Every structure is written in structure tokens, then in C-alpha cells.
Amino acid sequence: MVRYSIILIFMGILVTSPVMAQYQDSVNRVIQNKMPQIVWVKTWPGGNKSRQHSSLKERINSVVFGIKNAVLSTPVAVLANSPDDFLVLDQGNEAMFHVEEEMGQIPQPFLKKDHDLTSLVGFCQGPGQTILITNSKTGKILIYNKKESRLHILNDTLSLDQPTGIAYSAELREIWILETKSHCISILDEEGKLKRKIGERGTGKGQFNYPTHIWIDKSQKVYVSDAMNFRIQVLNSAGEVISSFGETGDATGYLARPKGVATDSYGNIYIVDALFHAVQVFDLHGTFLYSFGIQGHQDNEFWLPSGIYIDDNNFIYIADTYNSRVQVFQLTNTTLK
């Protein structure tokens, strides 16, 4: 308690502003409500090996054989069942890794290179045992069928304008895709046929400026990282904007380069900010709660992170992109909801 008082007094002397008031409020929340804690769990691959220290031999073995000592290049997205069973989309290796019990393997269809995989950006769970993947360069959506061990284009007649973020709603039976270059959302049926588009370029409600990441929660609310508007827009299943929050700035609670977005089981909203090398957490009303991560290469540190995924047990998976790894955390002490 004394330590927090000293911090507040010291910071109050230096700064008196809305930013400081917001900071004080967040600290008071920690003191009074025992703010939930983010606990570091693991890193994959282990050993804090950054991309600069990965040998050429390890990279060749990783891509060609896809089995032992796999080393990531540029992970951009994660999809997980548990900390011992998850998928990683690796843009640098033009592949997807399946990680089980610390072993990373590239499924055979990604090794064949029957498709142009030079710009894989986002992926999500699709219908049944399928994974849907965006290819920004080709403008196509790839579908990987785990059961059939097959990778193909979802709808070859459909061409999207720099597709990036992707999310699937089993309840709606719809695929929501961000077309970053066209500043809009395209909504497809399960066969990949276009149903409708939402949005256009702009700064107003329901408009976008280079959106990049998307998340659909269990209540079918849609969260869009409206990157160059430096905000998150929340939509309902009809595509109507429910709320939005965020503005550009270089202090905690502001956004600089918002990327991945996800929600935990309590509805709190997590935003990966690449320029801050951190993850910021907001409540349902867009009020800043806390953040975790700083720039660096050790545990709990990031270097230009991008993607995020939160599973049903509140394990948090971060694509620590330029550290060439995935870091796993867990939300604990959930007194504050």
C-alpha cells in the first residue's frame, strides 16, 4: 500500500493530466479490488531463442521435415485447444505448425507447396474439423481439413482485397473477413459465397481505416481492430456498431499500433499493441484496466507482437512475432469482473 502511494505521489508531482487521472484510477482498482493477474506459463519454442539466434540448419529442418526442433520464423497468429495443443501460423516459413507436447510439426499439405503461401496473415477454426486461413497476397481463403489432411481454396471464384483478420461463427454459420485494403468486412457463408459487406473507409461509426484483426465472442459480438483509426469497434451479429473505444497516443490506455484482439470469459477485451510491445486490457465499456509486457526477449517481454488467442480456460496465447515464438499466459485471481 505504501509503495503504491509513493508511486502516485511521485507521478502526481511530474504530471497532472487526464492520462495521469486514468493511471491513478487503474492503480486504485488494483489496490481496492485485487485486480486479476496475468501469470506467465510457457514459451514455445522453449529457451528464449530469438530469430537472430536460429541456425540455418534448424530452419531447413523445420520447414522440410516439420518435426523435431522446429523453430518459428515470423508467427502471426495462434489457435489453441490448450497450452499443450495449439496451432501457429508462421508467415516467414509460409506454413502452419501444430504443437503437441512441445513438439512442433508442419502438416504435410503445407510442405507440398501446392499453393502460394507467401502471405498468410490470419486463421480461425472453421466448420467441423477445418481451419480457415487468409492469404493477403492472393486474395484467397484457404481451408485446411485436418481429417482429410487436405489444403485447398475455399471459393476459387471469390477474390478479396488484401484479406487479413478472419473469424467464424458456428451459431451464425458465417465467416467474417477483414479486407484491409478496401477498409471493410466481407461476410461469407460456410461455402465461401459472399453474403454481404459492411463498412467503408472513414473515421465515423461503422467506417474503417486499415482494419487488421477480428474476434467473435460467444455472445456473437464482433470486435474489430480498426488499426489506423487507433480504436476497437464492437459490432453485433447484424453488423451494427454497438460501441467503440480508443485513440492514438503514447501512454498507457491509448493505442499506437493495435493488432490482435480477443476477449476472456469475463468479457474483458485484450489488445495487442505492436508499437508498445505489450497487451492492454479494457473492460466492456472501453475503460483501461491494466497491461502486461514490455519490449525485450525474456519471459513476459515482447518484440512487435501481433496475434492473440484466449481459450475457454483463460489461457492467453501471444504471437510474439519478432521474437519468433509464442508465449502463453493465464488469467488468475478473477475477483474483478
The pLDDT tens digits for 231-256 are 999 999 999 999 999 999 988 899 99
The rounded distance, in Å, linking the Cα atoms of 240 and 219 is 14
- CA 286 vs. chain centroid, Å, equals 18
Are 127 and 190 within 8 A, CB to CB?
Answer: yes
Taking CA atoms, 324 is separated from 58, 76, 290, 319, in Å, by 13, 9, 25, 8
Between these two residues, 140 and 55, which has the higher pLDDT value?
Answer: 140
**Residue 218, CB-side half-sphere exposure with 13 Å CA sphere:** 9
The rounded distance, in Å, linking the Cα atoms of 304 and 297 is 11
Render pLDDT for 210-235 as a digit per residue (tens, 0 to 9): 999 999 999 999 999 999 999 999 99
The rounded distance, in Å, linking the Cα atoms of 67 and 198 is 41
Q: What percent of the chain has pLDDT over 90?
A: 76
The helix or strand, by DSSP H or E, that contains position 26, with its residue range, turns out to be helix 18-33
User: At 72, is the pLDDT very low, low, confident or very high (cuts 50, 70, 90)?
Assistant: confident
List the chain domain ranges: 1-33, 40-332
40-332 belongs to CATH 3.40.30.10: no
Whether pLDDT at 204 is above 90: yes
- Give the residue-averaged pLDDT of 102-124: 94
DSSP-assigned letter for residue 208: B
The rounded distance, in Å, linking the Cα atoms of 216 and 239 is 12
pLDDT of residue 47: 62
Question: What does pTM read for this prediction?
Answer: 0.84
The rounded distance, in Å, linking the Cα atoms of 221 and 226 is 15
User: At 14, is the pLDDT very low, low, confident or very high (cuts 50, 70, 90)?
Assistant: very low
Render pLDDT for 136-167 as a digit per residue (tens, 0 to 9): 999 999 999 999 999 999 999 999 999 999 99
